[in-house]
Chain A
Amino acid sequence: MNRAARYLCGLWLGVIVTLLYLPILSVGLASLANTRYMRFPHRDWSLGAYADALNQHETLVLHLTSLKVALVVSVLSVALATLGAMAFARYDWTGRSLFQKMVVLPIFFPQPVLGLALLLFFTAIGITPSWKTAVFAHMVWVLPIVTLVISIRLFGYDPAQEDAARDLGASRWQVLREVTLPHLSPGLVSGGLFAFLLSWSNLPLSVFTTGADTTLPEWLFSRVATNYAPVVSAIAVIATLASVAAGLVVIAGLRLRRSRRGAGSPV
């Protein structure tokens, strides 16, 4: 590539990334003034909206509801997806290809439609929607994704290692604990992180399936559409930073572990 072409390519990437982050940055900028109407550039820059956000009990309740849902979704999804991934990627069985396609089907499905269908389903079988039904709804969409994430890890796994361990006298439990799980664990951790972040940020499923409970994205959506106030921007920033922090901590943990074990295994 000559210089001009390189320059153009760099410019293209720069423009794409900038466009992707401008709206997110805008929320941050809007949160830095505490006036009733948004008038940028702000005359008085202030952190007042954050003080208001932190003083509202609702902020805490919203975060706790989202946290509760996201944590339960991650734990249950990783547990189920680990089993599913074995069938997806490891064992060779008749029907595997059908199973693989069935698993990815919910990913290729309009989410609000899934939310509506689930709401009708819960009502029909007499379950009152709450954060627990939202967990169930999120899982229908998240479980297939986590299964894929763990499967990708599993495709790079050589089952002969297990035979070798067994030949050396390891018990079934030891093989699982010392061979299989250590290899799979980066996949389990990234799968868990995916599940957490996707659940934390989900709007279309939550809107229809949380009943009287409200998650953060749902609350933001309702406040954005109707009465805007700077405190909405502040809470949006806090919620986003919380998930960024969760992501960074997990990624750093994975890195640390990999560098400790030596750069032996590719991700």
Chain B
Amino acid sequence: MTLLVLPLAVVWLGAALLALLDGRRRFVGWAAVAVLGANVAGLAALGARVTEDGRQELVTGNWPRGVGITLAADELGIIFAVLSSAVLLVALLYEVLAGVRSRTFPSLVLFMAAGLTGLFLTGDLFNFFVFFELSMIPAYVLSVYGDQARRKIGAAFIFAVVNLLGSFIFLISVAGTYHVTGTLEMRDAAERLADAEPASVMLIAVGVFVAFGVKLGLFPFHFWLPPIYVGATPAVAAILSGALANIGAYGLLRFGAALLPAELELGARALVVIGSVSILYGAMQALSRRDVREVLAYSSIGQAGYILVALAVGGRVGFFAAVVYAVVNSANKALLFLTAGLRGWLVGAAFVVGAFSVAGVPPSAGFFGKVAIFQAGVAEESIALLVLLFVGGALSFVYMFQIYQHAFWRPEASAGGREPSPAVLRGLTLGLAGVVVAFGIWPEPLLALSGGAADLLAGDAGESAP
């Protein structure tokens, strides 16, 4: 039981303590790394407990169930929690090694980690919103981190406004859920929503979809995304795309598959269309860009489309694909954004691993993401969907190869006067690339955990289906 709260408590207290100190000093940065490392270790231990004993649950304040706020860890939550904290840890390590440039950076990253840990481990709808805001507010501040803050501030304002609008629409959906079901506990709400009046539940579902679509950067809600990702420093871009975007994927899975399965099925066709447009739009835009970070930003929009399509296919195979793809995609994006800012020997190798992983070439982890997606496409028995997935994959291979060529093969890019980056940073990205390859060679833990999460969601969907 203590294990469920400890990772959250450690990182939250650490964030508050470090806020008092100047983050540019080296020991503060390393203290933040230590705190976040403890958080990741705690979450990993909790993950081991969850796979052995099943769902862990706790009600705060010794209140009876249904009165206090529920904290709960199941396979779906823990997989995203570990992933997001690990990405944050790598990004923080990168920035500490490169030299932190603002006094608040380490503490902000820890606050975001606290928000994300809480968000993935809460079983309460309103508490979800609170942690959601706790992780978004550091993101608004981090988006102007680094040099040339003056140029980024306009994009940051739009980023903040659009995402806040999404948050409040989500809050209205929470209010609607409470009105319809009279509970905020996710599992009880899921049961009661199944019997509620379909029209009102559909409205709630639309609100939830808009909120997480904005977060994930799906096609019609994506316009804030490219300027932010292009302007951000490598570490911040990795944080936003590798850790924060997980909220969108997790939210769609948790709310769509576990809470609103009937509405998900009803809207499946629309979701497939939106997802497909996202895939094609992201790929086309990425193809036409030359700047590495711009290509990666548009690629993120396309990859979000895959997750949505997998979710819409539904059933065990679809949810499994969505989870695996979300995990692999966030690792890829963290690796690529961190590598994109570096120059020197072996950086190209790390980048190529990430690029292959996005394109789904074995032996990278991305291969299994693509395989899972194709399985979902086969299960749907739709030729059009399979063709789309294939075209999307081929396009991603083309644009990744294009920027690889552009960034690392041009003689002036590799030798053009720029100093090679510090060896530690290159080592870090190589290590991350090693992890991506390792998950491609030995994917069993990832697949087992995702399988558990998919069973959970598919079970929920099966139970409440009429």
Do A and B bind?
no
Mark A residues whose CB is within 8 Å of B. Answer: none
Mark B residues whose CB is within 8 Å of A. Answer: none
